[in-house]
């Protein structure tokens, strides 16, 4: 799941391990009204138990129990299916009550508690060694690969790549937020190509 979520978005590992379940809006037309397609909100929170801190800190809010704003990332169908797989197996089995965070430790004395960004980096390193990949897998590599794929799929449209990859500054996200290009056939087609769903 972690690999799918990193490779289908351009999220930083700190943002991923900082996600709360309430940040995920995986159905169409979520209550936040921020994005019509399935998406998630990266919100900078102080005092997450695992100290994961999103690096970029746009304003976010909770309105009537619904997370709004923050940094918005579109969510791929593969991410949604890996999420349901995870929630109905490992999460259901081990998650400690009350913290509300998405990623938990699956082994060790602190099983069920939130997973730290450092532990996530260690997992990627070990996975890389097992797969006998040269060098270390760095989470940033997923961001660069994602952006390159979007650029390929759009014939080098940097605007679409910027939006899809959330490379832009928080202010830029605000400016393009709700921009019709986010829902254009071209944008959707680019994401589908990157997510491996194009025919």
Query: What residues make contact with Zn ion under the rule CB under 5 A?
Result: 25, 30, 32, 34
For helices 139-153 and 185-194, the axis angle rounded to 10 degrees is 130
Identity of the residue, 13 or 32, whose beta carbon is nearer to Zn ion in the bound complex: 32
Indicate the residue whose CB is closest to Zn ion: 32
Q: H or E stretch including 174?
A: helix 170-176
To Zn ion, the closest distance from the beta carbon of 132 in angstroms equals: 39
To Zn ion, the closest distance from the beta carbon of 67 in angstroms equals: 6
Identity of the residue, 68 or 147, whose beta carbon is nearer to Zn ion in the bound complex: 68
Residue 185 burial class via C-beta count within 10 angstroms: exposed 0-12, middle 13-18, buried 19 and up: exposed
Sign of CA dihedral 69, 194, 18, 30: positive
To Zn ion, the closest distance from the beta carbon of 25 in angstroms equals: 4
Identity of the residue, 69 or 149, whose beta carbon is nearer to Zn ion in the bound complex: 69
Residue with tokens 């999420």: 83
Identity of the residue, 26 or 96, whose beta carbon is nearer to Zn ion in the bound complex: 26
């Amino acid at each position: 799941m972690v690999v799918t979520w990193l490779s289908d978005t351009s999220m930083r590992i700190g943002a991923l391990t900082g996600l709360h379940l309430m940040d995920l809006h995986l159905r169409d037309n979520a209550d936040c009204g921020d994005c019509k397609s399935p998406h998630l909100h990266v919100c900078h929170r102080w005092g997450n138990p695992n100290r994961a801190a999103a690096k970029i800190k746009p304003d976010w809010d909770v309105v009537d129990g619904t997370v709004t704003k923050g940094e918005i990332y579109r969510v791929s169908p593969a991410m949604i299916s890996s999420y349901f797989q995870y929630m109905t197996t490992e999460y259901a089995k081990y998650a400690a009550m009350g913290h509300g965070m998405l990623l938990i430790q699956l082994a060790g004395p602190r099983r069920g508690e939130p997973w730290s960004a450092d532990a996530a980096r260690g997992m990627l390193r070990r996975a890389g060694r097992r797969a006998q990949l040269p060098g270390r897998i760095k989470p940033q590599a997923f961001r660069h690969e994602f952006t390159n794929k979007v650029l390929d799929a759009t014939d080098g449209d940097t605007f679409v790549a910027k939006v899809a990859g959330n490379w832009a500054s928080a202010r830029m996200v605000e400016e393009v937020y709700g921009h019709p290009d986010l829902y254009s056939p071209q944008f959707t087609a680019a994401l589908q190509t990157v997510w491996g769903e194009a025919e």
